[in-house]
Amino acid sequence: MRLWLLFAVLTRATAGTYFVTVAGLGGEPEYEQRFASLAKEIDGLLKQSAGALRIDTLSGPSATKARITETLQSVSRAASRQDSLVLMLIGHGTFDGVEYKFNLPGPDLSASELAGLLDAFPGPQLVVNMTSASGGSLAALKKPGRAVIMATKSGTERNATVFARYWAEALRDPSTDTDKNEIITALEAYRYAVAKTVAFYERAKRLATEHAQLEDTGSGEAVREPSPENGQGALAARFGLLRIGKAQLAANTPEKRKLLERKEQLEQQIAQLKYQKAAMASEQYRKQLSGLLVELAQVQAEIDK
């Protein structure tokens, strides 16, 4: 690798991710235990991965509207425009035809209140709402620069969901990493959890009562299957949730961490470019893609040394 390029990589200002996971009110012991267990599992997986700026997990009595507000305000004050926020909601939700609410001990948190808190965060955001009726939260949460994943397609799908179980499974299953770059992205985890949820209902011979969807343009309709053709999924593909394998080891090595971050940036740029392909001249697309791939190979070679 050329010295000037290596210097640029090592001196580049780095960005990081804040993770906030909330397990809401269960209402019954079975659900209380299930929600808290999933939140604990996700917390452990995130901490093993390394690289997060901060990980906050709230469950049980601590998962209150006041604590969520305090936590989100705190990370918003600490974050820069280059930083990202991943908010994961597990539990029950309600929708009265107008407003979605996340069920919590004490006062519930409405989608519009949550949107107000998220608006204060300066960088890109991912909201993974895995509750019942979560589709009803989209109208308030949708915004450019914010990816929203919902376990249900509308606020009228009110049964308890299984999507959260498979989202957690996606974070621990290496097969989620379909492009084999040792980073599990939000888009990959979404597709894994959707496939597993569908299989669950088919296996149980039950009518599906949840249909997960994603919206990450801030101006379009939520879709079941994001793709470059419908324009959805580009932002979700940029959210690296977990590093696995050699990437996880590299993240724990100070001299390689900067290189790993540059590799992730390049992979995100390549994913974004693929979404822009239809609007570009063929030669321009090939030239930009070639340049990114060459630099990616150079950075990977340095990581492998």
Query: What Å distances lie between residue 233 and 3, 161, 185, CA to CA?
Result: 35, 22, 11
Q: Does one domain contain both 139 and 236?
A: yes
Of 203, 221, 243, the one marking the end of a domain is: 243
Q: What angle do CA 133, 32, 141 make, to 5 degrees?
A: 30
Q: How many alpha carbons lie under 13 Å from residue 89 in its C-beta half-sphere? A: 31
Q: Does one domain contain both 167 and 198?
A: yes
Q: Does one domain contain both 46 and 169?
A: yes
- Across 183-216, b (16+ Cβ under 10 Å) vs e yields bbbbbbbbbbbbebbeebeeeeeeeeebbbbbbb
Q: Does one domain contain both 120 and 268?
A: no
CA-CA distance, 163 to 16, in Å (whole number)? 26
The backbone torsions φ and ψ at residue 85, rounded to the nearest 5 degrees and listed phi first, read -125, 130
Q: For position 28, which CATH number holds?
A: 3.40.50.1460
Look at residue 8 in the predicted model and tell me its pLDDT: 30
Q: Does one domain contain both 144 and 270?
A: no
271 CB-near residues (< 8 Å, 6+ apart): 234, 237, 238
- Which residue in 300, 304, 298 sits closest to 2, CA to CA? 298
Range of the domain at 209: 15-243
Task: Flag whether the pTM goes above 0.85.
Answer: no
Look at residue 249 in the predicted model and tell me its pLDDT: 61
Residue count of the chain, please give it. 305
Q: Does one domain contain both 263 and 230?
A: no
Q: Does one domain contain both 233 and 132?
A: yes
Of 243, 277, 296, the one marking the end of a domain is: 243
Look at residue 277 in the predicted model and tell me its pLDDT: 78
Q: Does one domain contain both 198 and 230?
A: yes
Residues in the chain with pLDDT < 70?
1-14, 50-51, 247-257, 260, 303, 305
Domain count, the chain: 2
